[in-house]
A and B are shown apart, each in its own frame.
Chain A
Amino acid sequence: MSTPTHEVPRDETVTRSRFSWGWLLIGIAGVILALGALRTVTGADDVASAGTMGAAVRAAMPIALAGLGGLWAERAGVVNIGLEGMMILGTFGAGFAGYQWGPWAALAFAVFMGTVGGLIHAIATVGFGVDHIVSGVAVNIIGLGAAQYLAALTFTGKPGGGPTQSPPVERMPTFDIPGLSWAGRELAQTDLVFLTDAGAVLAGLTTRVSLLTVIGLACIVGTWLLLWHTSFGLRVRACGENPQSAETLGVNVYLYKYSAVLASGAMAGLGGAFLVDDASVYRDGQTGGRGYIGLAAMIFGNWRPGGLVAGAGLFGYTDALRLRRGGESVHALLLLIGVGLIALAVWWLWKRKVAQAGVTAAFGVGLVVLHLATDSVPSDFTGMTPFIATLLVLGLASQRLRMPKADGQRYRRGEAG
């Protein structure tokens, strides 16, 4: 065969971004440095305190798990807007089993209930080819209704329980990571640039860590390994990219789609267990839209686990911040975001994207002015922080995202070729 000179010359090098620990560390250090500077400038101590960081992790985990659920489903080509409903089922499951048989039963039952939600979604979308959004919304409604009905049925009259609340649930044991936790606390006591804040962050992440957090982290790492480093994962992702192609290679697409959507439900259910564990009680409306925010975190993370964790961390942090002297902390955050947006605008200007630079600069300047003109953000608005962060981040970051190609499309066997 002659050399294929007629091919249009294109860059055939591997263009996937390679994960690098170096960049990760630089990024984390940058974030800590920025928060430390913000703390020094504004005097809002809670923007980088150990307490905030611990709360941020607890707030981020349910979002990350919901996002992980979204990742499983969407990588297999099923859009899962029903995560919220599956999460609600998970919270009921955790409450129901948790107050009777303890935290491990709560975990198992939450996963089971979430999986049931996933099964409904899988049967509708994969089995019957129902539109994924329609089915997902239905799952949300069913999840909410079922949880409320079952809660009223099982919790009413129990000690400490009622129609909208379960009896108290025992929490998973927590532990301090030896050495790190102590070192972090010691560092946080000092008054050094950067090291103080790094210590606070370290202490926040390593003190009173719940076993559940460890399990959640294991799920994230496990998902990454399973989806990107096994043949099972290759097949699941093939179903999301091009199910017809997978079919022509003898892959049973239905099987992998079902597995992935069930896993999706299980993850969302586990996210529900987190919420119950954190509050040590099941409460009606406990999820508060975290299923949707998880989905947003996943989209922000470009359908990758690493990005998803970053997105969940961001939402978890803003969520935690509003609880830690919210008025003052969120007010301080405005300055950071404002300055960040102005920096972004400069970068865009340098890239000659004038329109984007203009809009971004306008928002940035607006936020800085708002920060300078006020002393505190009213509590009516601090509660909105995570949601506004969701909107902002998706609006600014979702420029070059790539979803699985066959995501949301109906698949029928025998239509390949």
Chain B
Amino acid sequence: MSDETPVAVRLTGIGKRFPGVIANDDVNLTVHPGTVHAVVGENGAGKSTLMKILYGVQAPDSGTIEVEGNQVSFSSPADAIDVGIGMVFQHFQLADNFTVLENIVLGAEKLHGTGERARRRIRELASAYGFAINPDALVEHLGVGARQRVEILKVLYRGARIIILDEPTAVLVPQEVDELFDNLRELKAEGLTVIFISHKLDEVLKVADEITVIRRGTTVDTVVPADVTARDLATLMVGSELPSPATEVSTVTDQVLLEVSGVGLVDPHGGRDLLTDIRFTIHRGEVLGIAGVEGNGQSELVEVIMGIRHSPAGTIRLAGREISDESTTRRRETGIGYIPEDRHRHGLLLDSPLWENRILGHQTRPPCSRRGFIDRAGARADTERIVTSYDVRTPGIDTHARALSGGNQQKLIVGREMSGDPVLLIAAHPTRGVDVGAQAAIWDHIKTARRKGLAVLLISADLDELIGLSDRIAVMLRGALVGEVDPRTVTPTQLGSAMTGAEVPA
């Protein structure tokens, strides 16, 4: 990385303010061509905003952007695409009801048309990079890994030389991550530049040539992986040590709290059964982890236990009492806390203030309700409590949920679901898209509650989290529980292959 090589991207003094928030302040970033450059930082540190600025989605308030030696300014992503920048967003930007082909050619119809030539070009690209993709498949039928490859194809199709990947590994299982990294190395070998956003430090150390750390909206340092450890990076990122999900001692009791037996679910659209004959128990003080590639029935299982969907067969017993026919509200009142997998769609009203969000799911119980009416004062006071004791960083409880970073939104949800002394917590991806600091805090809360006798059903794509927190792990495949592994002995790689239907390790 000598100074003579022309620079692929140079950001100087970038600043961006949103009402009440400084997202970026004096960010400086230099990316050399033909390298994988990682940008790491906590959630809410301003990584995504910075990348949106580089891709022209948002305009910076100050600072300059240089691409391959020329100063540029973008008014829309079209300008960024023109100078050879492509971006794969954290939340995939795909139209589900379109084919792969339509998604890829959209906006770039001039290159190869929208018909046979485009199809051929996509096949060429796909085989050149080893992607198994059918251009005429509907995107809604694709799994997460395939969708990501469609996103990367979109970028390659436009002839991008600089590719931004925003948290690309958040949704992948370890094998898929390895494949992605292989892909990235191929891209690099072709002379492309990759900017890789992440907060998973071990991955960054594995794949990056250079690492820039962002903290609270500003660049802290740029380092080479050979010189640092994950611990050093964590210190740079948050000023504290890398947290670990591992629990110390077992607190499992012999009292059965949740007993699910023979639960099934038919696909209303006539496909394969969503759930088949699910049976398991969770004891007080026990964390049962469910491992599985997403889309194998985990969401449906959670929804059946919550009463959002109804299983035609089987029973669900909570502390000995059958709840199979009770409403969701009633189930929550009897002590089920629920951290939903998608906090934006199921956990929060983004355009409502925090204290109203505190009421959701607790609208029939004190402190949010009194004699059948909403108790505003009670709800507000309790929201203050959550904000303080769960360290939700917010200007106030009248702030809209949308204005909070992902980690803080999640801490609010955890605080809400932990109030009212639940006996069972259903946690679906409790730390997805959450930074190291918030992750440690959420893990601590789950561990504390477990010690007090809380039973937890944990669903997570983060295998370290699953192995660290769980007392037992059940593997789910195609709507059925296919085996159980011992978290004390299993490695993430073994677990990953068990999830894909390979032999379940003993």
Q: Give me the interface of A with B, judged by CB distance under 8 Å.
A: 1-8, 10-16, 230-231, 234-235, 237-238, 241-242, 244-252, 402, 404-405, 413-414, 416-417
User: Shortest distance in angstroms between B165's beta carbon and chain A's nearest beta carbon?
Assistant: 12
Give the interface segment out of B172-180, B240-248, B357-365, B412-420. B172-180
Once A1-B130, A1-B182, A414-B58 are accepted as A-B contacts, the answer to whether A235 and B91 lie under 8 Å apart by CB is no
Q: Give me the interface of B with A, judged by CB distance under 8 Å.
A: 48, 51-52, 55, 57-58, 76-81, 87, 89-91, 93-99, 102-103, 105-110, 113-114, 129-132, 134, 136-138, 141-143, 145-146, 154, 166, 173, 175-176, 179, 182-183, 293, 295-296, 478, 499-501
Contact between B109 and A238, CB atoms less than 8 A apart:
no
CA distance A417 to B51 in the complex (A): 10
Residues on the B chain within 8 Å of A231, using CB: 105, 109-110, 113-114
Contact between A235 and B97, CB atoms less than 8 A apart:
no
Contact between A3 and B89, CB atoms less than 8 A apart:
no
CA distance A417 to B47 in the complex (A): 12
Contact between A245 and B94, CB atoms less than 8 A apart:
yes
Contact between A13 and B93, CB atoms less than 8 A apart:
no
Contact between B499 and A248, CB atoms less than 8 A apart:
no
Contact between B52 and A417, CB atoms less than 8 A apart:
yes
Contact between A251 and B57, CB atoms less than 8 A apart:
no
* Consensus secondary structure, chain B interface: loop
Contact between A3 and B132, CB atoms less than 8 A apart:
yes
CA distance A251 to B78 in the complex (A): 7
15 contacts between A and B (CB under 8 A): A1-B130, A230-B114, A235-B109, A237-B95, A238-B95, A246-B106, A248-B87, A249-B77, A249-B108, A252-B76, A404-B97, A405-B97, A417-B48, A417-B55, A417-B90
Contact between A10 and B143, CB atoms less than 8 A apart:
yes
Contact between B106 and A238, CB atoms less than 8 A apart:
yes
CA distance A1 to B178 in the complex (A): 9
Complex A-B, nearest 9 residue pairs according to Cβ-Cβ distance, in ascending order: A250-B78, A231-B109, A249-B107, A6-B500, A245-B93, A241-B95, A1-B130, A242-B95, A12-B137
Residues on the B chain within 8 Å of A15, using CB: 138, 141
CA distance A235 to B499 in the complex (A): 38
Contact between A12 and B134, CB atoms less than 8 A apart:
yes
Residues on the A chain within 8 Å of B106, using CB: 234-235, 238, 245-246, 249, 251
CA distance A234 to B77 in the complex (A): 18
CA distance A414 to B18 in the complex (A): 12
Our pick among A16, A246, A414 for the contact of B107 (Cβ within 8 Å) is A246
CA distance A414 to B59 in the complex (A): 9
* Consensus secondary structure, chain A interface: loop
CA distance A39 to B73 in the complex (A): 72
Closest to A248 in B: B93
Given contact pairs A1-B129, A6-B176, A250-B80, enumerate 16 new A-B contacts (beta carbons under 8 Å).
A1-B131, A1-B182, A4-B146, A8-B478, A12-B141, A231-B113, A234-B106, A246-B106, A247-B76, A249-B77, A249-B154, A250-B78, A416-B57, A416-B93, A417-B87, A417-B90
Our pick among A5, A12, A14, A241 for the contact of B96 (Cβ within 8 Å) is A241
Residues on the A chain within 8 Å of B107, using CB: 235, 238, 246, 249-251
Closest to A238 in B: B106
CA distance A336 to B57 in the complex (A): 57
Closest to A253 in B: B76
User: Shortest distance in angstroms between B480's beta carbon and chain A's nearest beta carbon?
Assistant: 13
Contact between A417 and B76, CB atoms less than 8 A apart:
no
Our pick among B55, B145, B179, B293 for the contact of A248 (Cβ within 8 Å) is B55
CA distance A246 to B109 in the complex (A): 12
CA distance A54 to B126 in the complex (A): 54
User: Shortest distance in angstroms between B440's beta carbon and chain A's nearest beta carbon?
Assistant: 27
Once A10-B143, A12-B141, A417-B89 are accepted as A-B contacts, the answer to whether A234 and B134 lie under 8 Å apart by CB is no
Residues on the B chain within 8 Å of A244, using CB: 93
CA distance A56 to B78 in the complex (A): 48
CA distance A402 to B107 in the complex (A): 24
Once A1-B130, A15-B141, A242-B94 are accepted as A-B contacts, the answer to whether A248 and B77 lie under 8 Å apart by CB is yes
User: Shortest distance in angstroms between A417's beta carbon and chain B's nearest beta carbon?
Assistant: 4
Residues on the B chain within 8 Å of A16, using CB: 138
Residues on the A chain within 8 Å of B500, using CB: 5-6
User: Shortest distance in angstroms between B278's beta carbon and chain A's nearest beta carbon?
Assistant: 17
Contact between A6 and B114, CB atoms less than 8 A apart:
no
CA distance A8 to B176 in the complex (A): 13
Closest to A229 in B: B114
CA distance A416 to B107 in the complex (A): 15
User: Shortest distance in angstroms between A121's beta carbon and chain B's nearest beta carbon?
Assistant: 23
Closest to B143 in A: A7
Contact between A14 and B138, CB atoms less than 8 A apart:
yes
User: Shortest distance in angstroms between B150's beta carbon and chain A's nearest beta carbon?
Assistant: 11
CA distance A237 to B183 in the complex (A): 31
CA distance A2 to B176 in the complex (A): 10
Contact between B141 and A11, CB atoms less than 8 A apart:
yes
Residues on the A chain within 8 Å of B94, using CB: 242, 245
Contact between A6 and B499, CB atoms less than 8 A apart:
yes
User: Shortest distance in angstroms between A258's beta carbon and chain B's nearest beta carbon?
Assistant: 16
Contact between A14 and B81, CB atoms less than 8 A apart:
no
CA distance A249 to B55 in the complex (A): 10
Contact between A6 and B293, CB atoms less than 8 A apart:
yes
Residues on the B chain within 8 Å of A235, using CB: 106-107, 109
CA distance A5 to B173 in the complex (A): 12
Contact between B97 and A241, CB atoms less than 8 A apart:
yes
Residues on the A chain within 8 Å of B137, using CB: 12-14
Residues on the A chain within 8 Å of B478, using CB: 8
Contact between B295 and A8, CB atoms less than 8 A apart:
yes
User: Shortest distance in angstroms between A240's beta carbon and chain B's nearest beta carbon?
Assistant: 9
Contact between A234 and B109, CB atoms less than 8 A apart:
yes
User: Shortest distance in angstroms between B103's beta carbon and chain A's nearest beta carbon?
Assistant: 7
Residues on the B chain within 8 Å of A404, using CB: 97
Once A1-B182, A416-B89 are accepted as A-B contacts, the answer to whether A8 and B296 lie under 8 Å apart by CB is yes
Contact between B293 and A8, CB atoms less than 8 A apart:
yes
Contact between A234 and B58, CB atoms less than 8 A apart:
no
Residues on the A chain within 8 Å of B132, using CB: 3-4
Contact between B81 and A249, CB atoms less than 8 A apart:
yes
User: Shortest distance in angstroms between B342's beta carbon and chain A's nearest beta carbon?
Assistant: 16
User: Shortest distance in angstroms between A395's beta carbon and chain B's nearest beta carbon?
Assistant: 19
Which of B90, B98, B166, B183 neighbours the largest number of chain A CB atoms within 10 Å of its CB? B98
User: Shortest distance in angstroms between A71's beta carbon and chain B's nearest beta carbon?
Assistant: 15
CA distance A12 to B142 in the complex (A): 7
Contact between B175 and A6, CB atoms less than 8 A apart:
yes
CA distance A234 to B98 in the complex (A): 9
CA distance A304 to B413 in the complex (A): 41
CA distance A81 to B108 in the complex (A): 33
CA distance A16 to B52 in the complex (A): 34
CA distance A231 to B107 in the complex (A): 8
Residues on the A chain within 8 Å of B114, using CB: 230-231, 234
CA distance A2 to B134 in the complex (A): 17
Our pick among B96, B131, B173 for the contact of A405 (Cβ within 8 Å) is B96
Residues on the A chain within 8 Å of B134, using CB: 12
CA distance A249 to B80 in the complex (A): 10
Residues on the A chain within 8 Å of B76, using CB: 247, 250, 252, 413
Closest to B114 in A: A231
CA distance A245 to B96 in the complex (A): 11
Residues on the A chain within 8 Å of B113, using CB: 231
Contact between B143 and A250, CB atoms less than 8 A apart:
no
Residues on the A chain within 8 Å of B78, using CB: 250-252
CA distance A248 to B132 in the complex (A): 24
Residues on the B chain within 8 Å of A6, using CB: 145, 173, 175-176, 293, 499-501
User: Shortest distance in angstroms between A135's beta carbon and chain B's nearest beta carbon?
Assistant: 19
Closest to A251 in B: B107
Closest to B81 in A: A250
Closest to A7 in B: B143
Residues on the A chain within 8 Å of B154, using CB: 249
Closest to B96 in A: A405
Once A7-B143, A7-B145, A14-B136 are accepted as A-B contacts, the answer to whether A245 and B95 lie under 8 Å apart by CB is yes
Residues on the B chain within 8 Å of A10, using CB: 141-143
Closest to B51 in A: A417
Once A8-B295, A249-B77, A417-B90 are accepted as A-B contacts, the answer to whether A405 and B95 lie under 8 Å apart by CB is yes
